[in-house]
């Protein structure tokens, strides 16, 4: 039983790492989940748990695997937008190689805050007051940002946020350009489904 305790301890560590730091500690967290899962499958025949104990062990495997897969999808993909949810915030994200991402959040808990759009290129958020977005082959657009992201907590912010969300959900790709010259093109495949309808912070 000591071996079983060690296995579940590793699983708990993996879940904590994935939940508290989904983007930084994701792969570490998944490693703490996958390794003990393999060990658990090997231990089960030796533990003589009975039908009830076996069922509990299987339920633990399913639960930890589901948690791990949730944070794996929320971490993002290059070829398609994916969605996730955590601590009352709905998330939608797409990546384009390491350090590049568009991340949309919606506070579904009912309070204001945490609803906006953030961008990252080369591992850094934008500086300055604007970013340039080019949807498909249309003309480039200057989009206003505040503290490095598109917020929704003022009247002008709300209009800016809703406009950008509509554009993200209705095109095939978007090219993002920061004032420092960093740039990347992201797919918008799956964005219409992944980005949920959301009430802006200012309208709450």
CA 70 to chain centre: 9
Q: Which residues, 6 or more positions from 176, have their beta carbon under 8 angstroms from its beta carbon? A: 102, 119, 121, 131, 132, 133, 183, 184, 185, 186
Rg of the chain's alpha carbons, rounded to an integer? 21
The pLDDT assigned to 113 comes to: 74
Question: 64: which DSSP letter?
Answer: H
DSSP per residue, 2-63 = HHHHHHHHHHHHHHHHHHH-TTTSHHHHHHHHHHHHHHHHHHHHHH--HHHHHHHHHHHHHH
Q: Left, alpha or beta for 90 (phi > 0: left; psi -120 to 50: alpha)? A: beta
Cβ(130)–Cβ(179) below 8 Å: yes
Enumerate the β-bridge partners of residue 159.
Answer: none
pLDDT of residue 131: 98
Per-residue pLDDT of the chain (204 residues; tens, 9 = 90+): 555 556 556 555 555 554 444 444 444 445 555 555 556 556 656 656 555 555 555 555 555 544 544 454 446 899 999 999 888 899 999 999 999 999 999 998 766 678 999 999 999 999 999 999 999 999 999 999 999 999 999 999 999 999 999 999 999 999 999 999 999 999 999 999 999 999 999 998
Alpha carbon 201 to chain centroid distance?
20
- The pLDDT score that the predictor gives to residue 23 is 43
- Residue 27 structure tokens: 């792969």
Between the alpha carbon of residue 149 and those of residues 16, 42, 64, the distances in Å are: 27, 47, 33
pLDDT tens-digit map of 184-196: 999 999 999 999 9
Pairing mode of beta strands 173-177, 149-151: unpaired
């Amino acid at each position: 039983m000591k071996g079983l305790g060690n296995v579940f301890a590793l699983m708990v560590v993996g879940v904590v790492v994935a939940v508290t730091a989904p983007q930084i500690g994701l792969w570490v967290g998944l490693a703490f989940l996958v390794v003990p899962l393999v060990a658990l499958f090997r231990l089960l025949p030796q533990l003589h748990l009975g039908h009830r104990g076996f069922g509990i062990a299987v339920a633990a495997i399913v639960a930890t695997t589901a948690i791990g897969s949730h944070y794996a999808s929320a971490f993002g993909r290059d070829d398609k937008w994916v969605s996730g949810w955590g601590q009352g915030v709905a998330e939608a994200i797409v990546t384009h190689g390491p350090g590049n991402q568009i991340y949309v959040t919606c506070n579904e808990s009912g309070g204001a805050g945490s609803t906006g759009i953030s961008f990252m290129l080369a591992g850094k958020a934008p500086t300055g007051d604007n970013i340039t977005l080019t949807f498909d082959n249309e003309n480039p657009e200057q989009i206003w940002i505040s503290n490095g992201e598109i917020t929704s907590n003022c009247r002008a912010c709300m209009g800016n946020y809703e406009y950008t969300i509509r554009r993200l959900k209705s095109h095939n790709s978007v090219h993002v350009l920061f004032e420092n010259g960093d740039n990347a093109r992201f797919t918008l495949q799956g964005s219409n489904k992944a980005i949920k309808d959301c009430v802006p912070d200012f309208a709450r």
